[in-house]
């Protein structure tokens, strides 16, 4: 090994070597053998890098495939590309078709966001009228058809207009359930109520859990059927 190093061989990867080593020379490069090598570089055929990324500070990992694996890679890529073209009605310019779909999707998302904001705005008045007073607390436990952003907007808007407020909203999308709790800061301070505790406890009913701040917290679960039970149990925190 000492002779190999003296001849200019590079010892890579922090490998441990014995006294007798094998050296590999490729062009101007000479290295100590760190693993299995092919008998001839022609056996490698094509060399395709499939991933590259950081694994630690100052260290990057490059993964590549060679020989028949490269052939399989391009066959699979070609098959996938053909399937994508079929989905795009065999357009002559798949790239342009995908860009068009992305733009349309972006526009639709913006449109939906606008509709949800309008829906939340219209719902604020309806929910405010449903508030009931329990032991000095303005209370509401209600299932709503809004996304997480809309629910948060409604909760904070009601919170800015009503004191001593305790809200629990339930919502469901497909097989996913969510509970959102808002508690006025004065109730958090004076009555030791905690929204995080509420959603953690009631979150069990929707087979999930969550948390957040004492005045605002959410929980997600996979049992929408449990939302009604959670809403019905919310009163126990203010009674």
Domain definitions of the chain by residue range: 1-37, 126-237
Strands (DSSP E) contained in the chain are 23-26, 29-32, 47-56, 59-66, 132-134, 137-143, 165-173, 176-183, 208-213, 216-221
Token reading at 154: 């409604």
Give this prediction's pTM: 0.60
Q: Does domain 126-237 have CATH number 3.40.630.30?
A: no
Query: Looking at beta carbons, which pairs linking 66-71 to residues 24 or more positions away fall under 8 Å?
Result: 67/43, 70/45, 70/46, 71/46
Question: Cα–Cα distance between 182 and 125 in angstroms, integer?
Answer: 17
- Reported as a pLDDT band with limits 50, 70 and 90, residue 71 is very high
Which pLDDT value is given to residue 187? Answer: 93
- Range of lowest pLDDT (31-35, 60-64, 82-86, 220-224): 31-35
Mean pLDDT over all residues of the chain?
89
| Position 212 pLDDT exceeds 80 | yes
Which pLDDT value is given to residue 219? Answer: 95
- Cα atoms in the 13 Å half-sphere on the side-chain side of 38: 9
Q: Position of tokens 């000095």?
A: 136
| Position 24 pLDDT exceeds 90 | no
């Amino acid at each position: 090994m000492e002779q190999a190093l003296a001849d200019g061989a590079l010892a890579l990867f922090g490998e441990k070597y014995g006294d007798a080593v094998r050296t590999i020379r490729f062009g101007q490069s000479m290295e100590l053998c760190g693993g299995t090598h092919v008998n001839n570089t022609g056996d490698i055929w094509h060399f395709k890098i499939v991933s590259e990324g950081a694994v630690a500070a100052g260290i990057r990992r490059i993964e590549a495939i060679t020989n028949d694996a490269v052939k399989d890679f391009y066959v699979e890529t070609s098959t996938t590309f053909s399937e994508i073209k079929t989905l795009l009605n065999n357009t002559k310019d798949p790239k342009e078709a995908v860009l068009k779909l992305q733009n349309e999707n972006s526009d639709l998302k913006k449109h939906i966001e606008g509709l949800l904001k309008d829906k939340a705005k219209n719902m604020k008045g309806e929910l405010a009228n449903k508030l009931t007073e329990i032991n000095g607390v303005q209370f509401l436990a209600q299932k709503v058809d809004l996304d997480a952003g809309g629910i948060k907007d409604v909760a904070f808007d009601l919170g800015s207009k009503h004191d001593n407020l305790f809200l629990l909203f339930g919502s469901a999308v497909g097989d996913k359930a969510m509970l959102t709790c808002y508690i006025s800061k004065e109730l958090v301070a004076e009555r030791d109520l905690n929204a995080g505790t509420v959603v953690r406890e009631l979150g069990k009913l929707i087979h999930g859990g969550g948390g957040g701040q004492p005045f605002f917290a959410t929980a997600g679960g996979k049992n929408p059927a449990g939302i009604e039970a959670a809403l019905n149990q919310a009163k126990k925190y203010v009674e």
